[in-house]
Structure 1
Amino acid sequence: MMVVDTVSASTSIIAHHLFDQRSKAHPHLRRTLHVVSCRPLATEFAGRRLVARVPRQHHPRLADWTVKALAMGVTKEASPRREYRGIPGDGGDMGDMGMTNPKTQWPPRNRADDPKLHNPLLRLERMGCGWLGVIFEWEGVIVEDDAELERQAWFTLAQEEGKSPPLAFVLKRIEGMKSEQAISEVLCWSRDPSELRRLSSRKEEIHCNLRGSAFYQMRNGSREFMSTLANYKIPLAVATTRPRKVIEEAIDAVGVRSFFDAVVAAEDVYRGKPDPEMFLYAAQLLSFIPERCIVFGNSNSAVEAAHDARMKCVAVASKHPIYELNAADLVVKQLDELSVVDLKNLADIESPEFGMEPEPEMEEEEEDDGDSSPSTSVGVDDLFW
């Protein structure tokens, strides 16, 4: 220990070189010595090495910046499509860490607003809950759905092609899909595009032959409900995976052509339910944002597709019991159970287009407040001696 103190003392008094003659050449100049107080290092011997313990300096501000920068990166990766507005309650600038914290816009921008409208009343109407569009499924919602015809069509096609008839749970899974999608992805009968088109066309032909000259039967309350929506100038669309020729003939047969502003058929989309493409295209034809559209379906696949498209969904319990459709926003047995007020209340529910979705919260880990503070070991080699 005495050797260490001697070395420390010898290094501390070396402040002026012995052969420096500048002070003698100018004796009239006064030199000012600045004494800086410094803490002696805690030293100890480790074998033949002298080890000095240097305490690590804590920078709480730098640590907070690091944690916030990592949280911002995780938030951006979790929601890449949404404009990032920073961490809640953090008004500081993260420019030093290479991160930008844009100012939060308040009130949040309403995606339903259209600044191009010069009429303030029309612009205010768009921002209210009364500006909405309705998308109907055809079978099971507007007209009665005959599930037995669909099952017989698949069984007949399987018999003609020498395939195993699909089981009940397989038929339930392909419900609402396009025929090409069901044949290639679920039944796995073929992958060739031309063969898929042939099988799909043949299946629809069998379905039409089984139906024969029977007319579509409107469900109770469907015509009255669509008439009420038309009186309130709410645009309507119908979306189905049936071929366009079939759906056009069916619409003309029941006499509801005047109600619909858009018709989406199987030829308009690549995939059927539960993919939301069909409903998104219908909203595009109606010139509505998806958040302001309400889908009327009769299956869980329709509910899933509507929610994936950021739309509200009303389930019609036509062939499924009510308890199986609880994922929908509303469940009814007939369309005339609803009113325009119910649709406005459903559209008024807090939606993502208003930017009111909750921000992800940042979790902070508690630091261990033990007596032992972290330190850095500095080894001095024997050559120092």
Structure 2
Amino acid sequence: MVESFATTSLLGNLPLYGGYCSKDVSGKRRAIDIIKFPPMEFRFRKLVSSSSLPRLKAHRQLIKCQAMELTKEAYREEGQSYQDFRYQIDTGVDRMPGLWPPPNKADNPGLQNPLLRQERMGCGWLAAIFEWDGVLIEDNPDLEKQAWLALSEEEGKSPPPAFILRRIEGMKNEQAISEVLCWSRDPVQLKRMAGRKEEIYQALQGGIYSFRPGSQEFVNILMHYKIPIALVSTRPRKNLETAIGAVGIEEVFNVVVAAEDVYRGKPDPEMFVYAAQLLQYIPERCIVFGNSNQTVEAAHDARMKCVAVASKHPMYELGAADLVVKRLDELSVVDLKNLADIESAEFEPELEMELEEEDDPHPTVDVDDGFW
């Protein structure tokens, strides 16, 4: 700072400042392209101005001059040119082209349709798929475990251990009973036990539903930007509709996928793929909101991005998700647009490899040395 500032401002040179406005004798403002500040000098380690201006005004001019010189030094170090810039007092975001405004990943200048380009820059090119328990609504995981233990006692089965209960988390009841617990494979018995398990859970839950902190505000933001919303759950449709009506958000969801609509639950991606089909969106444009690693696995298998909500698992256990938050209102629409951006190299690796092979300027030719 001493070299850049002192050599230009203190050792006899008159610093210049561009784009400044001053008042003439009549009081009218007029633009002055170049203003020369009076010379200054050091006297007993103090900076003294020889002009008749007030000290406050001289101090302000000195600060402006110092900022200009430091900016020039920064451009010199980066190897950039600063002669083309007109420094203005009231602007500060456009002094360095290329840094502002930030690039919009949703924009594609190559599109010839202006309406399609505007829609892509908006929010009409992505959809949100929510789980119900633990994401939008407060959930008590212990109630699910108690329901399974009570059902095993009623059916005369051995109580499932803790690791089995963690494995069947998020599965359909019929799928868990037949494939993991192996209690029965009869469709009639599967339907009966699955229904009884839901009755036990609803009795333990008490029919009281409440939003998780920040979830209602986030849903309101999505509705404001007209982003399609789908609800996916392994609960029966009747219980799910009762819960939606209890919290008063019947008109929020464009699509509701319940247990009766799919054959398998998580970690199978069938629920999310079916929700995307009903929304008429490609999977790459859908973002899944869940709270378990089973949801993350199912979303990635469906070629969707996943936002994990740390409601019943710590954040470090959900590192496989694309984003991990504690509350949904920590997210913004810009975060969702960046997640739904598919114009990146990860979606076309084969094309890049072909281009590299075609653009090889020095092809190799095998020569048989024995011929010569």
Q: With structure 2 as the length reference, what TM-score do the two structures score? A: 0.63
Letter in 1 for 2:240: I
Question: What is the CA-CA distance between 1:206 and the residue it aligns to?
Answer: 1.0
Cα pair distance change 1:120/1:359, threshold 3 Å: closer
CA apart distance, 1:120: 3.6
Aligned counterpart for 1:244 among listed residues 237, 240, 243 = 237
Which residue, out of 266, 288, 298, partners 2:259? 266
- The yes-or-no answer on 1:331 pairing with 2:324 is yes
Provide the residue aligned with 2:280 in structure 1: 287
Q: Deviations over 1:155-177 (max 9, x none)?
A: 01000111111111111111110
Aligned-residue offset at 1:355: 3.9
Partner of 1:253: 246
Output the CA distance in 2 between the equivalents of 1:319 and 1:180. 24
User: Residue 291 of structure 1 contacts residue 352 of structure 1 at CA under 8 Å; is this kept in 2?
Assistant: no
| Alpha-carbon distance between aligned partners in 2 of 1:326 and 1:354, rounded to the nearest angstrom | 22
Per-residue CA deviation, residues 287-346 of structure 1 (Å, 9 max, x unaligned), is 111110000000000001101111010000000010110100000000000011111122
Instruction: Name the residue aligned to 1:98.
Output: none
Aligned to 2:335: 342
Task: Verify the 8 A CA contact 1:129 1:345 in the aligned structure 2.
Answer: no
2:299 is equivalent to residue 306 of structure 1: yes
Deviation of 1:209 (Å): 1.5
The answer for the alignment partner of 2:20 in structure 1 is none
Contact 1:291-1:353 within 8 A present in 2 as well: no
Return the letter of the residue paired with 2:144: E
Map 1:126-141 → 2, pairs under 5 A:
127-128=120-121, 130=123, 131-141=125-135
SS at match of 2:196: helix
Partner of 2:187: 193
Task: Note if contact 1:129-1:348 (Cα within 8 Å) is conserved in structure 2.
Answer: no
Which residue of structure 1 lines up, in the alignment, with residue 98 of structure 2? none
User: What is the CA distance between 1:360 and its match in structure 2?
Assistant: 6.1
* Other structure's SS at 1:278 match: helix
Letter in 2 for 1:293: C
Counterpart in the other structure of 1:142: 136
Q: Give the distance between the partners of 2:163 and 2:331, measured in 1 at CA.
A: 32
Distance 1:367 1:157, change over 3 A: farther
Q: Which runs of 5+ in 2 are unaligned?
A: 1-107, 358-363
Deviations 1:106-156 (A, max 9, x none): xxxxxxx9xxxxx94442245557310000000010001111110110001
Matches within 5 A, 1:1-385: 120-125=113-118, 127-128=120-121, 130=123, 131-212=125-206, 214-348=207-341, 350=343, 355=348
Secondary structure of 1:123's aligned partner: helix
CA distance in 2, matches of 1:352, 1:167: 45
Matched to 1:160, the amino acid is E
Matched-pair contact (CA < 8 Å) for 1:129–1:347: no
- Looking at structure 2, the residues matched to 372 and 307 of structure 1 have their Cα atoms a distance apart, in angstroms, of 54
Q: 8 Å contact 1:296–1:316 — kept in the other structure?
A: yes
State how far apart, in whole Å, the 2-side matches of 1:351 and 1:273 are.
28
Name the counterpart of 1:61. Answer: none
2:243 and 2:162 map into 1 onto residues whose CA distance is 27
Question: For the residues of structure 1 that align with 2:325 and 2:278, how far apart are their CA atoms?
Answer: 27
Tell me what 1:60 maps to: none
Instruction: Provide closer, same or farther for how the CA distance between residues 328 and 129 of structure 1 changes in structure 2, counting only shifts above 3 A.
Output: farther
Percent identity, aligned pairs only?
Answer: 67
Q: Secondary structure at the match of 1:158?
A: helix
- Residues in 1 aligned to 2:345 and 2:242: alpha-carbon distance in whole angstroms: 38
Give the CA deviation at 1:259: 1.4
Change (3 A) 1:242 1:357: farther
Q: Which deviations, in whole Å up to 9, do the C-alpha atoms of 1:261-301 show, x marking residues without a partner?
A: 11100000000001111011111111111110000000000
Q: List gaps (5 residues or longer) in structure 1.
A: 1-112, 114-118, 374-385
- The total of aligned residue pairs comes to 253
2:137 counterpart letter in structure 1: V
Residue type matched to 2:126 in 1? L
Question: Considering only CA atoms, is the larger Rg found in Structure 1 or Structure 2?
Answer: 1
SS of 1:257's equivalent in the other structure is coil
Give the whole-Å Cα distance in 2 for the aligned partners of 1:310 and 1:250: 29
